[in-house]
Amino acid sequence: MKVQSFETVRRVVFGHGAVESLPDEVKRVKGSRVLVVTDPGIKSAGVLDQVTGVLERANLGFSVFAEVEPDPRVEVALAGAKAAKDFGPDVIVGLGGGSALDISKVSSVLLANEGPIDKYFGMELVPRPGVPLILIPTTAGTGSEMTSICVLSDTQNKVKKGIVSEHMFARAALLDPQLTLALPPRVTAMTGMDALVHAIESFVGVRATVFTDTLNLQAIRLVAANLRQAFAQGQNLAARENMLHASCLAGMAFSNTQNGLDHALALAIGGKFHLPHGLLTAFILPWVMEYNLIATPHKYVEIAKAFGEKTRRMPEVQAARLAVKAVKNLLDDLGISYRLSSYGVPREEFPALAKTTVGAVRLISNNPRTVTEQEVIGILEANY
Ligand SMILES: [Fe+2]
């Protein structure tokens, strides 16, 4: 086996009420002046007040940047960075879904690294660390609290681009299931599926290791056993907590492996058609599983087992196909169609989408099966 490595966030604080430990975590990183980066929805839902209340009671100075949008544009990253420069925080707290956490990461590193931001898109191109980051997810989720990745929308070129930098790892992640109780069912379904996609893409990927496999299998088991309940019964704290753990475990894993063809397709389609990231990765998942399955059937058997499918005495490929069936059943229960024609993507876009997909080297290079533009078009046609 060739030499590989594994890295992750050094501290995770989790459990009901974990958010109350924020002042201790701020002090642990020697911070006293906090910029909270979040989105308007978190603010109007009262979740921001919960967090700033904790800071106020601890007499910590803070400012808030609450202008993060879904699928954030590069311009929002620059606005976040400007808010950070103007306030001069010594710690940044990201609060929200993946978009808010991603903008908090880039705001931190842009404090210490001159623009233009374009030179940082890619793998490990950011020279210096910014101020310490504490990330608090409110969805379960993107797992962004555990990754060194930030994805931004380049609206001029209609593509989504990633910055991957070790300097964007949080110093601490706070996982508090209370903060996810108010998520509407549809958002619960989409973000929960995104966590499952991370776990599956990382698990079957060519860069998988014993460390990521362990995390991913448990993440898959947790999603299989809890997403339906979190969707159908939003106040179920145990289901919410298990989903938050699943999202976190998958995030720890895929930050090391990157994702695969599903995410490459999701970023290509999402760059042109503004569909939520979790919805895209969810409806693409069964297509990509069907395509990839013959490359690593034993891994798909493990996924089927994690979903509780009975695979004993079955030929390997037949057992592997039960993983796809299990995922389709889950999508059916969550009311998510996996026909592309449901989402307003016209056929004439297929060649351009295929080109962008195959060009996403960071993702495609982890996919277990090699893929050409023609094959991507075939996948889109077959699932239209
Ligand atoms: Fe994702």
Token pair for 24:
């201790």
- Residues constituting the chain: 384
- Cα–Cα distance for residue pair 92/108, rounded to 1 Å: 7
* pLDDT surpasses 90 at 372: yes
* pLDDT surpasses 90 at 246: yes
pTM, to two decimals: 0.96
Class of domain 185-382: mainly alpha
pLDDT at 159: 85
Quick: pLDDT tens for 107-130: 999 999 998 999 999 999 999 999
Q: What are the residues whose beta carbons fall under 8 Å from the beta carbon of 205, sequence distance 6 or more?
A: 257, 258, 259, 260, 366, 367, 368
Ligand 1 geometric centre to CA of 55 (Å) = 30
Q: Which candidate, 246, 143, 263, 247, places its Cα nearest to that of 205?
A: 263
Class of domain 12-180: alpha beta
Q: Residue 315 burial by CB count (10 A; 0-12/13-18/19+): exposed, middle or buried?
A: exposed
Mean pLDDT of 318-339: 98
Are 54 and 22 a contacting pair, CB within 8 Å?
A: yes
* pLDDT surpasses 90 at 30: yes
* pLDDT surpasses 80 at 1: no
Q: How many CB atoms lie within 10 A of CB 112?
A: 13
Confidence class for position 157, pLDDT limits 50, 70, 90: confident
Ligand 1 geometric centre to CA of 194 (Å) = 5
Domain residue extents for the chain: 12-180, 185-382
pLDDT at 84: 97
pLDDT at 274: 87
Ligand 1 geometric centre to CA of 197 (Å) = 7
Token pair for 297:
């059937």
Ligand 1 geometric centre to CA of 144 (Å) = 9
pLDDT at 115: 86
Confidence class for position 2, pLDDT limits 50, 70, 90: confident
Ligand 1 geometric centre to CA of 263 (Å) = 6
Work out the widest C-alpha separation in the chain, in whole angstroms: 64
For residue 213, the surrounding DSSP H or E stretch is helix 210-232
The fraction of the chain above a pLDDT of 70, given in percent, is 100
Ligand 1 geometric centre to CA of 259 (Å) = 8
Extended strands (E) in the chain: 12-14, 33-37, 61-65, 91-96, 122-123, 133-137, 149-154, 159-164, 172-175
Ligand 1 geometric centre to CA of 264 (Å) = 10
pLDDT at 158: 84
Quick: pLDDT tens for 47-103: 999 999 999 999 999 999 999 999 899 999 999 999 999 999 999 999 999 999 999
Q: How far apart are the first and last CA of the chain?
A: 40
pLDDT at 167: 97
| 3-state SS class at 73 | strand
Q: Which candidate, 56, 50, 31, places its Cα nearest to that of 172?
A: 31
Average pLDDT, the chain: 96
